[in-house]
A and B are shown apart, each in its own frame.
Chain A
Amino acid sequence: MTTILQPDDAMIPGVSEPAKSRATRRVRGLSDRAIAWLFVAPTIALLLAINIFPLVWMIRLSFTSLNLSMSYLPLRFVGLDNFTDILTDEDVWIRLQTTAQFVISSVALQVVIGFGLALLINRQFRGHSFWTTMILLPMMLSPAVVGNFWTLLFQPQIGPFNYLISLFTGVPPSSFSMTGEVALAPWTIVLVDTWMWAPYVMLICLAGLRSIPDYIYEAAEVDRASAWRQFWSITLPMTVPFLMLAVLFRAIENFKMFDMVNLLTSGGPGSTTELVSITLKRAAFEKWRTGYSSALAIILFVTVFGAANIYVKVLNKVKQR
Chain B
Amino acid sequence: MTAAVAKSTAHSIVESSSRAKAVAGSLVILYAMITILPLVWIVATAFKSQSDAIAYPPKVLFQPTLEGYVNLFTVRTRQTPDFIAKLPPPQTWYDKLVRQHDMVIAGPSKVVPRFVNSLIIGFGSTFLAVFLGTLAAYAFSRFRIPLADDLLFFILSTRMMPPVAVAIPIYLMYRQLNLTDTRLGMILLYTAVNVSLAVWLLKGFIDEIPREYEEAALVDGYTRLQALRKVVLPQAVTGIAATAIFCLIFSWNEYAFAVLLTSGEAQTMPPFIPFIIGEGGQDWPAVAAATTLFVVPIVLFTVLLRKHLLRGITFGAVRK
Residues of A within 8 A of B (CB): 4-8, 11-15, 18-20, 24, 27-28, 30, 32-33, 35-40, 42-44, 46-47, 49-55, 57-58, 61, 117, 119-129, 131-145, 148-150, 152-153, 157-160, 163, 173, 195, 199-200, 203-204, 206-207, 210-211, 214-215, 217-219, 221-222, 226-227, 230-231, 235, 242, 245, 249, 252, 255-256, 258-259, 262-263, 277, 280-281, 284-285, 290, 293-294, 296-298, 300-301, 304-305, 308
Contact A308 B160 (CB under 8 A): yes
Given contacts A50-B188, A300-B162, contact A12 B294 (CB under 8 A): no
Q: Which of B173, B217, B298 contacts A54 (CB 8 A)?
A: B173
Q: Which of B139, B189, B230 contacts A35 (CB 8 A)?
A: B139
Q: Which of A18, A138, A218 contacts B221 (CB 8 A)?
A: A18
The contact size tier of chain B is 35 or more
| 27 sample A-B contacts, Cβ–Cβ < 8 Å, listed by A number | A6-B216, A13-B235, A14-B234, A27-B225, A30-B224, A35-B139, A38-B135, A47-B158, A53-B173, A54-B173, A57-B172, A61-B169, A124-B21, A134-B35, A144-B253, A144-B273, A163-B57, A204-B318, A207-B320, A210-B320, A221-B9, A230-B13, A256-B161, A258-B162, A262-B255, A294-B168, A297-B165
CB-defined contacts of A128 to chain B, threshold 8 Å: 25, 28
- Docked Cα-Cα span, A222 to B7, in Å, equals 11
Q: Which 4 A-B pairs have the closest CB atoms?
A: A54-B169, A297-B165, A125-B25, A144-B255
Q: Which of B39, B212, B317 contacts A245 (CB 8 A)?
A: B317
- Docked Cα-Cα span, A109 to B18, in Å, equals 29
CB-defined contacts of B157 to chain A, threshold 8 Å: 305
CB-defined contacts of B282 to chain A, threshold 8 Å: 152
User: Is B302 interfacial (CB 8 A cutoff)?
Assistant: yes
Contact with A along B214-230 (1 / 0, CB 8 A): 01110111111110001
Contact A137 B35 (CB under 8 A): yes
Contact B310 A13 (CB under 8 A): no
User: Is B54 interfacial (CB 8 A cutoff)?
Assistant: yes
- Docked Cα-Cα span, A6 to B215, in Å, equals 10
Contact A14 B230 (CB under 8 A): yes
Contact B255 A259 (CB under 8 A): yes
- Docked Cα-Cα span, A123 to B26, in Å, equals 12
CB-defined contacts of A256 to chain B, threshold 8 Å: 161-164
Q: Which of A28, A49, A135, A284 contacts B168 (CB 8 A)?
A: A284
Interface residues of B in 37-94 (CB under 8 A from A): 38-39, 41-42, 45, 53-58
CB-defined contacts of A221 to chain B, threshold 8 Å: 2, 5-6, 9, 12, 14
Contact B223 A54 (CB under 8 A): no
- Docked Cα-Cα span, A180 to B86, in Å, equals 47
CB-defined contacts of B189 to chain A, threshold 8 Å: 50
User: Is B313 interfacial (CB 8 A cutoff)?
Assistant: yes
Contact A245 B318 (CB under 8 A): yes
* Extra 6 A-B pairs, beta carbons < 8 Å, given A39-B135, A145-B253, A290-B172: A46-B132, A46-B191, A61-B172, A145-B270, A285-B167, A294-B168
- Docked Cα-Cα span, A159 to B58, in Å, equals 6
